[in-house]
């Protein structure tokens, strides 16, 4: 016979022989009964024991006809992840049911990179004072998302206490497993006081699809309530209990049809020795001979019951039908969506989504509007980092050098610096108030140990550290860093190599474009002067080879002495005046620049980068406390004897000016921000080569701190809108930004942009001279052709002459010497006037 009755009554019935046990309702009791059922080989079918560990191989005869907490905690973890919360506080019953449920939740949260920050265990006796103290102490924790996993409680004591402690207010989130829905569904009716205490709570309820069977069963139950045969309302566990009885009955019916009978046998007392002491007469217990076969028949069940389709998975639990997401407000219980393991969250049941090929990774996942504690409808942040009574403790390094980054002023004790400005500006982009107080770290006489400062965040001495904190591997293992706000790559700073003497130093005064423009101007001026002088000056006539040499040498010779060829044309003289003025300015500028390069004292260094510096034997400077020392010795294997500690910008400048031969250093290797600050007050030094050992600065927070994420977002906004750059320029660009003063700069070179006005003026004069010359030649040629027409009755050029021939004749006319043209005009006049 199947057995479904109180636990101790079940133990007495065992002495009479049972084929199956239905129940118990408690997971803790199910652990004990499962051991007995396994010893007697009797299937234990429970509609209420949700502890996932009951499905282990330890209990092969345990079958669950309700959803396991493994499915429920998957839904709860998805709900937490869906709303973007990273940490939760768990309130749970400290027994097998509570602990194993929380363990399942922890595993599911870890899969989503979430975590349980704190656990608040409740004793089975549920001491009100004890729980009140637990809840009150949890108010100082950062997370405000509470997950409650306890047994059904008609008195709703947990939320009554939370309400009295003002923890059902704004910023709090209360998520509950299906114990609350089972409690509320069982109460008949639920009074308004219960709803006011639960206002804003979000929970799970096992999803039972609507069907005609369900409607008929509920109607019958209501009639039983009216007749006094039932004293509670119906919840999901009651429906599962009804289907459980039918499943066991069907299985036994099939078993009898196959085996014709149910038989029992008496076991050896040795096999039941572990049950001694629980009030059972061992010699009267009977083992069910067909228990394993009945378990197999039960697991093969597949029928439509009141709860829907009932069939089992490999864990001997029914296949999850999903959960309803419910929200309690002052008016009652409201459904806001559904969850299933396949489709995730939706506003329609998952059975309807199967037709749409919907999956849990779809972007369409959503829930209805939820009313949270305090009556708000916007999603709560889920945590508080600090309040006015407990502000955020922020450690700041009290530097002795490079105090522009961060330090405490000795008189006012005010904390200021570049890093402080970045932090305060970033707080303006965080959508909530963050009370904080700065805690200086260090004595101000020497730079503090940054590793020790970061470790104090891990030890909960500080909530965060703001300053020039390099993001290095050993620190990322104990704290979370924000988005970097400055690069701290290592760079080499050395005396700037403004000009290096060599065989081609005479080319350095001009840039390449200046040289090209100057060379082109010599050529153009020579061509223009030749055109203007060719008709009137014998020096510019002769064989083609001679004319080309004359053309090229004429303008070049003006650099050194008077030209051998004198200019005759007025237009040529005008061009020469402008050209000589341009040449005078360019020559004077070239001479001055070359003189500066050759005579002004230059600080130079043959260092071109980190490789050449390491290959040399020169001493290298580094800042005390910087990670540069460890990097050079451990990664680049630089001898420690070559490394010279320097503690301030003044020591930097002195060591570089002395150089290796004077007891100083050849170069200094330090983090980029320090070097930029040093160069903001120095013009004789610059950055050599490219940055290496790339790293960054960030703000350090405790592990899993939500503020680290929001601060990172704020720093990105600062970078995008240019505020980060403005703060950088405020502190580091007092004398021009460091990147503008590198070893590749050549401040003594002359650029074309400095002389473009002169070149433009000269070009205009050349064009005007050519245009006037061309107009004069066209006018003269037209007069000459008119004279020829007057002399002869027929033109020397046929009327059908081609245009090309006219052009050729015109250029031949221009090529003629001026004296020859005058003779041609005289001959024409003589023919026209013979007397």
Average pLDDT over residues 144-158: 91
Q: What is the pLDDT of residues 103-147, one digit of tens each?
A: 999 999 999 989 998 999 998 888 888 899 999 988 888 889 999
Cα 207 to Cα 69, 108, 203, 835, distances in angstroms: 14, 21, 12, 133
Buried b (16+ CB within 10 A) or exposed e, 535-572: bbbebbbeeeeeeeebbeebbeebeeeebebebbbebb
Average pLDDT over residues 475-500: 83
Does 600 have pLDDT greater than 50?
no
Q: What is the pLDDT of residues 787-807, one digit of tens each?
A: 666 665 444 444 455 666 666
Q: What is the pLDDT of residues 616-635, one digit of tens each?
A: 888 999 888 777 887 888 88
CA-wise closest residue to 482 among 323, 740, 701: 701
Q: How far apart are CA 74 and CA 323, in angstroms?
A: 11
CA-wise closest residue to 153 among 128, 117, 129, 135: 128
806 φ, ψ (degrees, to nearest 5):
-65, -40
152 φ, ψ (degrees, to nearest 5):
-55, 135
Give SS3 for 730. Answer: helix
Decide: 698 and 674 in contact? Cβ < 8 Å. no
pLDDT at 744: 45
Q: How far apart are CA 204 and CA 347, in angstroms?
A: 14
Q: How far apart are CA 443 and CA 646, in angstroms?
A: 19
pLDDT at 12: 65
Lowest mean pLDDT among 41-55, 196-210, 352-366, 493-507: 352-366
Q: How far apart are CA 312 and CA 301, in angstroms?
A: 7
pTM > 0.75: yes or no: no
Reported as a pLDDT band with limits 50, 70 and 90, residue 601 is: very low
DSSP 8-class letter at 390 = B
Q: 786 Cβ partners below 8 Å, 6+ apart?
A: none
Q: 681 Cβ partners below 8 Å, 6+ apart?
A: 649, 734, 735
pLDDT at 499: 47
- Top pLDDT among 288 and 794 is at 288
Tokens 């330890």 -> residue: 58
Lowest mean pLDDT among 7-21, 477-491, 520-534, 670-684: 7-21
pLDDT at 804: 66
Q: What is the pLDDT of residues 442-473, one digit of tens each?
A: 888 888 888 899 999 999 999 999 999 989 88
Does 360 have pLDDT greater than 60?
no
- Top pLDDT among 55 and 358 is at 55
Decide: 436 and 415 in contact? Cβ < 8 Å. no
Lowest mean pLDDT among 296-300, 498-502, 726-730: 498-502
Q: What is the pLDDT of residues 515-527, one digit of tens each?
A: 888 888 888 888 8
Decide: 285 and 14 in contact? Cβ < 8 Å. yes
pLDDT at 737: 57
pLDDT at 514: 84
Cα 238 to Cα 46, 221, 235, 727, distances in angstroms: 12, 10, 5, 66
How many whole angstroms from its chain centre is CA 734?
32
pLDDT at 270: 45
Q: How far apart are CA 549 and CA 431, in angstroms?
A: 79
Q: Token digits for 279?
A: 């009030």
Does 361 have pLDDT greater than 70?
no
Average pLDDT over residues 206-215: 90
Length of the chain: 835
Q: What is the pLDDT of residues 538-578, one digit of tens each?
A: 677 777 777 777 777 777 777 765 555 677 777 878 888 88
Give SS3 for 124. Answer: coil
Does 711 have pLDDT greater than 90?
yes
Reported as a pLDDT band with limits 50, 70 and 90, residue 282 is: low
Give, rounded to a whole angstrom, the gap between the first and last alpha carbons of the chain. 161
Q: How far apart are CA 477 and CA 555, in angstroms?
A: 73
Lowest mean pLDDT among 5-9, 219-223, 587-591, 746-750: 5-9
Q: Where are the alpha helices (DSSP H) in 210-356?
A: 212-226, 236-259, 291-299, 350-353
Q: What is the pLDDT of residues 165-185, one digit of tens each?
A: 999 988 899 999 999 998 888
SS3 content of the chain, % helix, strand, coil (to 5): 45, 15, 40
Q: What angle do CA 771, 774, 780 make, to 5 degrees?
A: 140
pLDDT at 145: 95
pLDDT at 149: 95
Reported as a pLDDT band with limits 50, 70 and 90, residue 612 is: confident
Q: How far apart are CA 237 and CA 536, in angstroms?
A: 120
Does 3 have pLDDT greater than 60?
no
Q: How far apart are CA 299 and CA 320, in angstroms?
A: 15
pLDDT at 172: 93
């Amino acid at each position: 016979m199947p057995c479904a009755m109180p636990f101790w009554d079940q133990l007495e019935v065992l002495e009479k022989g049972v084929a199956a046990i239905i129940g118990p309702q408690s997971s803790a009791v199910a652990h004990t009964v499962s051991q007995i059922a396994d010893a007697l080989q009797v299937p234990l079918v429970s509609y209420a024991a949700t502890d996932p560990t009951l499905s282990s191989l330890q209990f092969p005869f345990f079958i669950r006809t309700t959803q396991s907490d493994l499915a429920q905690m998957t839904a709860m973890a998805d709900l937490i992840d869906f709303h973007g919360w990273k940490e939760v506080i768990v309130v749970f019953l400290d027994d097998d049911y509570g602990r194993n449920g929380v363990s399942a939740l922890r595993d599911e949260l870890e899969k989503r990179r979430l975590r349980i920050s704190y656990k608040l265990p409740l004793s089975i006796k549920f001491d009100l004072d004890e729980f009140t103290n637990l809840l009150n102490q949890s108010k100082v924790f950062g997370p405000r998302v509470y997950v409650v996993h306890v047994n059904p409680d008609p008195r709703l004591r947990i939320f009554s206490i939370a309400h009295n402690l003002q923890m059902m207010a704004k910023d709090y989130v209360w998520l509950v497993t299906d114990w609350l829905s089972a409690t509320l569904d069982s109460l008949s009716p639920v009074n308004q006081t219960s709803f006011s205490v639960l206002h804003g709570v979000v929970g799970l309820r096992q999803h039972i699809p609507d069907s005609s069977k369900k409607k008929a069963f509920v109607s019958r139950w209501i009639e039983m309530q009216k007749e006094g045969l039932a004293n509670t309302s119906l919840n999901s566990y009651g429906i599962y209990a009804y289907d459980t009885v039918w499943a066991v009955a069907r299985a036994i019916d099939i078993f009898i049809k196959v085996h014709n009978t149910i038989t029992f046998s008496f076991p050896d007392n040795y096999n039941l020795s572990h049950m001694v002491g629980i009030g059972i007469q061992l010699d009267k217990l009977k083992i069910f001979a067909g228990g394993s076969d009945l378990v197999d028949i039960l697991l093969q069940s597949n029928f439509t019951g009141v709860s829907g389709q009932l069939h089992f998975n490999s864990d001997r639990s029914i296949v999850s039908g999903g959960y309803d997401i419910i929200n309690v407000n002052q008016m009652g219980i409201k459904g806001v969506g559904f969850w299933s393991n396949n489709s995730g969250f939706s506003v329609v049941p998952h059975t309807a989504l199967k037709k749409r090929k919907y999956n849990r990774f779809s972007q369409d996942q959503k829930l209805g509007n939820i009313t949270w504690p305090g009556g708000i409808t916007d999603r709560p942040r889920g945590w508080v980092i600090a309040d006015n009574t407990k502000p955020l403790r922020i450690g700041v390094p009290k530097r002795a050098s490079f105090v522009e980054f961060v330090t405490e002023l000795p008189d006012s004790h005010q904390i200021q610096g570049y890093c402080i400005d970045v932090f305060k500006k970033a707080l303006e982009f965080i959508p909530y108030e963050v009370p904080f107080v700065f805690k200086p770290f260090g004595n101000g006489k020497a730079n503090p140990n940054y590793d020790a400062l970061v470790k104090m965040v891990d030890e909960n001495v500080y909530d965060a550290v703001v300053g020039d904190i390099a993001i290095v591997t050993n620190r990322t293992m104990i704290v979370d860093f924000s988005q970097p706000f400055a690069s701290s790559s290592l760079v080499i700073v050395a005396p700037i190599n403004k000009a290096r003497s060599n065989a081609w130093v005479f080319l350095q005064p001009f840039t390449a474009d200046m040289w090209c423009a100057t060379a082109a101007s010599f050529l153009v001026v020579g061509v223009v002067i030749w055109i203007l002088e060719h008709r009137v000056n014998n020096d510019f006539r002769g064989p083609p080879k001679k004319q080309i040499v004359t053309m090229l040498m004429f303008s070049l010779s003006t650099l050194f002495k008077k030209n051998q060829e004198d200019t005759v044309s007025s237009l040529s003289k005008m061009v020469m005046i402008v050209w000589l003025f341009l040449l005078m300015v360019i020559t004077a500028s070239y001479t001055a620049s070359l003189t500066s390069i050759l005579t002004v004292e230059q600080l130079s260094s043959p260092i071109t980068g980190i490789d050449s510096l390491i290959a040399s034997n020169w001493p290298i400077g580094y800042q005390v406390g910087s990670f540069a020392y460890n990097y050079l010795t451990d990664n680049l294997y630089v001898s420690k004897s070559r490394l010279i500690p320097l503690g301030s910008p003044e020591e930097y400048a002195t060591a570089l000016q002395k150089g290796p031969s004077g007891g100083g250093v050849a170069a200094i290797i330090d983090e980029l921000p320090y070097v930029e600050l040093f160069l903001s007050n120095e013009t004789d030094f610059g950055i050599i080569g490219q940055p290496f050992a790339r790293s960054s600065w960030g703000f350090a927070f405790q592990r899993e701190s939500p503020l680290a994420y929001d601060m990172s977002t704020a720093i990105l906004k600062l970078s995008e809108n240019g505020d980060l750059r403005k703060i950088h320029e405020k502190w580091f660009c007092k004398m021009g930004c460091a990147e503008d003063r590198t070893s590749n700069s050549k401040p003594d070179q002359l650029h074309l942009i400095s002389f473009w006005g002169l070149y433009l003026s000269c070009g205009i004069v050349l064009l005007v001279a050519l245009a006037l010359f061309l107009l004069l030649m066209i006018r003269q040629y037209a007069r000459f052709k008119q004279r020829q027409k007057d002399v002869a009755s027929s033109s020397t050029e046929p009327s059908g002459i081609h245009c090309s021939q006219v052009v050729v004749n015109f250029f031949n006319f221009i090529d003629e010497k001026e004296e020859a043209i005058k003779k041609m005009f005289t001959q024409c006049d003589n023919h026209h006037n013979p007397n």
